[in-house]
Amino acid sequence: MLTITCTSLSGGQGKTTASVFLGRMLAQAEQRVLMVDADPQANLTFYLGHEVQENQPTLLEVLKKQVSTEDGIYEVGENLWLIPADDGLDKAQDFLSSSGMGAIVLSKRLKEVADVFHYCIIDAPPQRSQICLTTAGAADYVVIPAEASSKGVNSLIRTLGLIEELKEIDAFAGKILGILPFRDKWVGNNQAAQSKASIETMRTIAETIPVLPSIPESEQFKKAIDKGVTLSSLGFGQLEAPFQQIIEGLQKNV
């Protein structure tokens, strides 16, 4: 199983959007995909149409080892499974910090099911929290979505800084697969000046890290999420370019 964490240290950067499309496209390509909702906002759980019932285990119980990892997994589509979250996941913060090895807890839990899935996609939370650290610690690969705006550039700088810090303490052994510009604005054939400037700045900051084809500002992403389908099945296959490139990058490493 290859684990990919979508992470960025600001809200609204496209982490959940990237997680959903990457997961659905891999599942459509007949890969067995485990999605992990590691954000107490639980947007991924909601987008995948899963409702957490009272007394049903979520990522919180899996992290705390109150249940086996397998018991926290629910089928949410063809080739698609989910470890869900709800706002109770916030309680994992204290557990992770007091465990003294917070960064490796999720990685250890996921190893229990590593033979069952081809890919695991983790949707990280936007804050620099213990949950965020454990999602980085579990990653073989990281994708960093960043809005094509000055907020996105700032988020990218902070996220790359965090990854560097984690590398120094051996809490991140993965590779950054790419930076994914999000909500790139175009009017006809003209790219908005702010989008263009932000993506250029991202390229400078990225140095050797690839900057992926961008996710354009478009209603189609929300429509596809609401309908639970891929962009290509709505007739917008060209919007899948960034995810295709990520999948190609992953396949080179299988």
Ligand X SMILES: Nc1ncnc2c1ncn2[C@@H]1O[C@H](COP(=O)(O)OP(=O)(O)OP(=O)(O)O)[C@@H](O)[C@H]1O
Tell how strand 186-187 and strand 190-191 pair up.
Answer: antiparallel
Question: Which member of 5, 10, 16, 134 binds Mg ion (CB under 5 A)?
Answer: 16
What residue type is 101 in one-letter code?
A: M
Q: Is 50 in the site for ligand X (CB under 6 A)?
A: no
143: three-class secondary structure by DSSP: strand
Residue 218 contact among ligand X, Mg ion, none, beta carbon within 5 to 8 Å by kind: ligand X
Q: How many other C-beta atoms are found inside a 10 Å radius of the C-beta of residue 57? A: 19
Whichever of 13 and 129 has its CB closer to ligand X, that residue is 13
Q: Does 24 bind ligand X (CB under 6 A)?
A: no
In angstroms, the Cα distances linking 229 to 48, 138, 198, 225 are: 10, 27, 30, 6
What sign does the dihedral 186-250-127-229 (CA atoms) show? positive
- Cβ(76)–Cβ(49) below 8 Å: yes
Is 223 near ligand X (CB under 6 A)?
no
Per-residue interface string for the shown chain with Mg ion, residues 25-44, x marking contact by CB under 5 A: ------------------x-
Out of 3, 7, 13, 31, name the contact with ligand X by CB under 6 A: 13
In the complex, least distance from residue 18 CB atom to ligand X, rounded to whole angstroms? 7
For the bound state, the minimum distance from the C-beta of residue 170 to ligand X, rounded and expressed in Å, comes to: 27
Residue 178, beta-bridge partner list? 143
14 versus 174: smaller Cβ distance to ligand X: 14
Query: What's the start-to-end Cα distance of the chain, in Å?
Result: 9
- How many residues bind ligand X, per CB under 6 A? 18
Order of strands, sheet of 80-83, starting from the edge strand that comes earlier in the sequence:
74-77, 80-83, 33-37, 119-123, 2-6, 141-147, 175-184, 215-216
Q: Does the protein bind ligand X through residue 215 (CB under 6 A)? A: yes
CB nearer to ligand X: pick between 194 and 253: 194
Whichever of 5 and 17 has its CB closer to ligand X, that residue is: 17
Report 174-213 residues binding ligand X (CB under 6 A): 183
231 binds ligand X (CB under 6 A): no
If binding is defined by CB under 5 A, does position 130 make contact with Mg ion?
no
Can residue 17 be called a binding residue for ligand X (CB under 6 A)? yes
Residue 248 and residue 242: Cα distance in Å, rounded?
Answer: 10
- Does position 24 bind Mg ion by CB under 5 A? no
Q: Which of 45, 40, 26, 249 is nearest to 141 (CA)?
A: 249
- Strand partners for 122: 5, 36
CB of 12 or CB of 249, closer to ligand X: 12
Q: Which residues contact ligand X (rule: CB under 6 A)?
A: 8, 11-17, 39, 41, 43, 126, 183, 215, 217-218, 221-222
